[in-house]
Amino acid sequence: MNVLSSRFLLHPSDPERSRRFYRDTLGLAVHREFGPAEDPGLVFFLGGGFLELSGRGTERASQSSVLWLQVRDVEREHIRLLAAGVSVLREPRQEPWGLVEMWLEDPDGLRLVLVQVPDDHPLRRDQR
């Protein structure tokens, strides 16, 4: 399989609330907007992939699904998101595997893990 692009699709229970959360609160950049102007689908940039909010769902997110987002500074995001009223499930901490992680939820209960890769972590080393 030769994957050319990828997206994580979400069908939020309240699309406008989720658009505000991902666009305005998290500050994700919009890659594409489609559909009716009064209820558009949005595709956000996620580094090497995309997140699409479209349609409407009726169930809360499964606890077995997690959206992993690498950021430059987890502590700075923690402060910013708390000030924006986001409920943080777990404050930033360094994990035994060396990454700094913070957990939060989107409006439908999808867990998001914000991750910072420290400068001395093996993921930062040239793997060639």
User: Consecutive sets of 10 residues in the chain, 128 residues long: mean pLDDT of each?
Assistant: 81 95 96 94 93 89 86 95 94 94 94 90 72
Domain topology for 60-123? 3.30.720
User: Given this model, what pLDDT does residue 126 score?
Assistant: 64
Region of residue 47 (phi > 0: left; psi between -120 and 50: alpha; otherwise: beta): left
Nearest Cα to 79, choosing from 92, 67, 70? 92
Q: Mind giving me the DSSP string for 22-84?
A: IIIIS-PPEEEEES-TTS-EEEEEETTEEEEE-S---SPPPTT-EEEEE-S-HHHHHHHHHHT
CA distance 81 to 25: 7
Residue 17, H or E segment: helix 15-19
Q: For 1-59, which CATH class?
A: alpha beta
The model's pTM is 0.86
Q: Are 63 and 40 in contact (CB under 8 A)?
A: no
Q: Which residues of 52-82 are buried (b: 16+ CB within 10 A; e: fewer)?
A: bbbeeeeeebeeeeeeebebeebeebbeebe
Confidence (pLDDT) at 4: 66
Q: Where are the chain's structural domains?
A: 1-59, 60-123
